[in-house]
Amino acid sequence: MKHLIVGLFISFVLPAIAQDPSDFQEEVLAIQKKYDTLWDNTKETIVFTGSSSIRTWQNLQELFPDYQIVNSGFGGSQTIDLLSYTNELILQYNPKKVFIYEGDNDLNDSKKPREIITVTKEIITKIKSTIPDIRIVIISAKPSLARWHLKGKYKRLNRKFKHLCKQEENLDYAYIWDIMLNGKKLRQDIFIEDGLHMNSKGYELWYQVIKNYVQ
* Band of pLDDT at residue 215, cut at 50, 70 and 90: confident
Q: What is the pLDDT of residues 25-73, one digit of tens each?
A: 999 999 999 999 999 999 999 999 999 999 999 999 999 999 999 999 9
Determine the distance from the C-alpha atom of residue 83 to the mean position of all C-alpha atoms in its chain, rounded to a whole number: 11
As a whole number of angstroms, the distance between CA 129 and CA 170 comes to 13
Determine the distance from the C-alpha atom of residue 67 to the mean position of all C-alpha atoms in its chain, rounded to a whole number: 20
* Band of pLDDT at residue 168, cut at 50, 70 and 90: confident
Phi, psi of 124 (to 5 degrees): -60, -45
* Band of pLDDT at residue 9, cut at 50, 70 and 90: very low
- Check: CB of residue 119 under 8 Å from CB of residue 83: yes
**What is the model's pLDDT at position 23?**
85
Above 60 in pLDDT, residue 15? no
- Check: CB of residue 31 under 8 Å from CB of residue 72: yes
Q: What are the structural domains, with CATH classification, of the chain?
A: 21-214 (3.40.50.1110)
Above 70 in pLDDT, residue 6? no
Determine what percent of the chain is predicted with pLDDT higher than 90.
Answer: 87
Nearest to 102 by CA among 129, 88, 87, 122: 122
Q: What is the pLDDT of residues 71-107, one digit of tens each?
A: 999 999 999 999 999 999 999 999 999 999 999 999 9
Above 90 in pLDDT, residue 182? yes
* Band of pLDDT at residue 4, cut at 50, 70 and 90: very low
pLDDT, mean over the chain: 92
- Across 144-173, average pLDDT: 97
Q: Give the amino acid at 203.
A: Y
**What is the model's pLDDT at position 2?**
39
**What is the model's pLDDT at position 11?**
39
**What is the model's pLDDT at position 21?**
61
- Check: CB of residue 191 under 8 Å from CB of residue 199: yes
